[in-house]
Structure 1
Amino acid sequence: MVRAHRLNPDITGDVLSDPKVRLRIDDGRNFMTMSSKKFDMITADPIHPRITGVGYLYTSEYYNVLKERLRAGGIVTQWMPLYSVSKRSFDVALRTFFSVMPNASFWYVRGHGLLISTADEFRVDYANLADRFNHPAVRDDMGSIGIKRPEELLGHLLMDSEHIRKYLSESGDSLMNTDDNAYLEYHTPFEFLEKTESIVEALLPHAGWNIEKILVNAGPGVRDRVSAARSQRRARILPELSEPIH
């Protein structure tokens, strides 16, 4: 990956040339377990849990390690696959994360999920978000996936913690992925043909988030624009799954 990065600096933003970047090639879970450092942001982007050993990056024990390494006001993000995984396995993964990170929110982008949790209550400072969109690097990165305005980004926020809790409570299950049971590692390899649609169709009736509570520093008309973007995004979720990616 490092060699590939050197060959594609325009795609990667030549991030390794940034003096603030320190590259460490290591076992991520062991590093976090043994480290005493605290971090403002921890992003976990493991590959699919069906791959041998990867399921241990989706366990409650691992999430507790991440939680301990987070500074006050910090953020944890976790990629969540919605393809080649059954609804039950998805629920197990979501429940496991949420059991440790109760301030979680679930974001959805075309067949992929992203769990974001904060050490404190989850809030979005709209003024700060809009300011970030004025930075060319941020604007270009967001534009590359079709997001041109802050409200369009917020349209991808599918569920806040309240809606996640309700969704999980109605599942009638309590199973979690742990180091001992390795549920995801042993079950997801048999779910290769499972479709994203089955999970999305189960999530959509529970989609929603409290815009008045979560969105702060939003000027006149902002909440209306965010609500409109949210409705437009939700209407596209199922149709786009059958469309080719350009």
Structure 2
Amino acid sequence: LAPISLRFVQVPEGGALEWHRDGVMAAVSVVRNSAGDRHLQVNNHFRMGGSASMRSDHRQAHIPLLLHPNPHSALFLGLGTGATLSAAGDHPGLKVEGVELVPEVVESFPYFERSPPRLAGNPDIRIHVADARRFVRAGTSPYDVIVADLYHPSVDGSGALYAREHFAAIRDRLAPDGLFCQWLPLHQLDIETLKVIVHTFLDVFPDTTAWLAQFSVETPLVALVGRRTPVANPADWVERRVRDRSLATGLKAVDLDGSFALFGLHLAGPAELAAFAGNAPLNTDDRPVVTAAAPGTAYAASERPADRLVALLQSLHPAPETLLAGADPATQARLAAYWKARDGYIGIGARALAAKGPRDVIGTLAPQLIELVRISPDFDAAYAPVLAMARQLAVTDPSGARRLLEALDRANPTRSDARRLLAQLPPA
């Protein structure tokens, strides 16, 4: 036996190492922090998700699947904790396959399964331990939806998963009405690399749209969704699309229970993306631009992810009439207002993060959030925090809570939540 342990795994203070395997390609660990959250760690430094990111992981399955009119088959490339693959199991009648390169990552899945559908023993979910590029090229059966995981370019071999040749091979595995979703970790990509990937993706999928996973400013995720054939989106797409009660419950749990919740994540169409990418070079197997730039991007000082996201939003100007072809002007105006409120919400989050939080959270943030509610009554992400602030304030300052709720009710009189809470306060 060695006189010292050769297992180098960083464990946070108050946490624990719950599971570890030394594999041929990587050392894989499940680490728990002091709050009880688990995360998957590869080679002691690269995190591949965890229990704290389950909401985002589930949305990474639901968003592309919802954008297809009626998927029967789906392929997921790169599995992380298995949470995204598991969420795909919520979609009835869907046959799902997942591909993961590192076998020890698949062995760790039981540590992250907290709710059904379970991956093990599910006849509708099949897992392959294989190289994603080779798996795509070797098969012949078409898929309605193919989803690629977040690949950090600085990880050995990941840059090739953003190559034109790989995107083209995926296109050839799509059914005629199929779509491909490539998730991008904006917190691990600089803007210039993002432009390269966008240009390369557009070269294979001219009909590409971009989407947010959620409104996080610390770990922003962007999806490029390419289709073989264009599709028209009615304004009530999700309401028509989701008929299964169990699926509807799962979508509600991650705040995707309506068309505005889905279309509100839209960032850009093909024209906006082409303008953003500009003259960026293509990333190909014989010219691996992403791989070559990765070391400099990983170790050089750069802007914060929140600033990168804000800059991206400022450079993209989506058009509601392009996304919702045929929708009435009032609906298009509502969607444009939702996007304006969304961008404002992200801007507020970015500024608060840079300032490490305002000293007076309620006094500073509540008026800004109420203004976003006024801009878009549909934007629930701003309404709910103000309600929570009012509940907190009611304990020590009922009069202040009343003023807050009255302002919120004026901003969106179509909702009754603020009025109900007002009725529970003691008389002024």
Same fold (TM over 0.5): yes
Deviation at 1:206, TM superposition (A): 3.2
Matches within 5 A, 1:56-135: 56-108=160-212, 109=214, 110=216, 111-133=220-242, 135=244
Relative to 1, partners in 2 of residues 1:139 and 1:227: Cα closer, same or farther, differing over 3 Å? farther
Deviation at 1:7, TM superposition (A): 4.0
What amino acid does structure 1 have at the position aligned with 2:347? L
Query: In terms of mean alpha carbon deviation, does 215-224 or 183-192 score higher?
Result: 215-224
Paired with 1:238 and 1:12, the residues of 2 have a C-alpha distance of: 36
Matches within 5 A, 1:1-246: 1-11=105-115, 13-108=117-212, 109=214, 110=216, 111-133=220-242, 135-169=244-278, 173-192=279-298, 193-194=301-302, 195-216=304-325, 222-241=331-350, 242-243=352-353
Extract unaligned runs of 5+ from structure 1.
none
Relative to 1, partners in 2 of residues 1:41 and 1:107: Cα closer, same or farther, differing over 3 Å? same
**RMSD of the TM alignment (CA)?**
2.6
Paired with 1:52 and 1:201, the residues of 2 have a C-alpha distance of: 29
Q: How many residues align?
A: 241
Instruction: Judge conservation of contact 1:84–1:188 (CA < 8 Å) in 2.
Output: no
TM-score under structure 2 normalisation? 0.51
Paired with 1:18 and 1:217, the residues of 2 have a C-alpha distance of: 40
What amino acid does structure 1 have at the position aligned with 2:295? P
After TM superposition, the runs of 4+ consecutive aligned structure 1 residues lying more than 6 A away are: none
Answer 1 or 2: higher relative contact order, Cα 8 Å, separation at least 6: 1
What amino acid does structure 1 have at the position aligned with 2:222? G
SS of the residue corresponding to residue 13 of structure 1 reads coil
CA offsets, 1:99-155, max 9 Å, x none? 111111111233111111111124324434123456454444444444443202211
Paired with 1:117 and 1:70, the residues of 2 have a C-alpha distance of: 10
Relative to 1, partners in 2 of residues 1:240 and 1:15: Cα closer, same or farther, differing over 3 Å? farther
Paired with 1:232 and 1:16, the residues of 2 have a C-alpha distance of: 41
TM-score under structure 1 normalisation? 0.84
Query: Equivalent residue for 2:80?
Result: none
Instruction: Judge conservation of contact 1:41–1:74 (CA < 8 Å) in 2.
Output: yes
Extract unaligned runs of 5+ from structure 2.
1-104, 357-428
Relative to 1, partners in 2 of residues 1:209 and 1:123: Cα closer, same or farther, differing over 3 Å? farther
Paired with 1:153 and 1:128, the residues of 2 have a C-alpha distance of: 9
SS of the residue corresponding to residue 24 of structure 1 reads strand
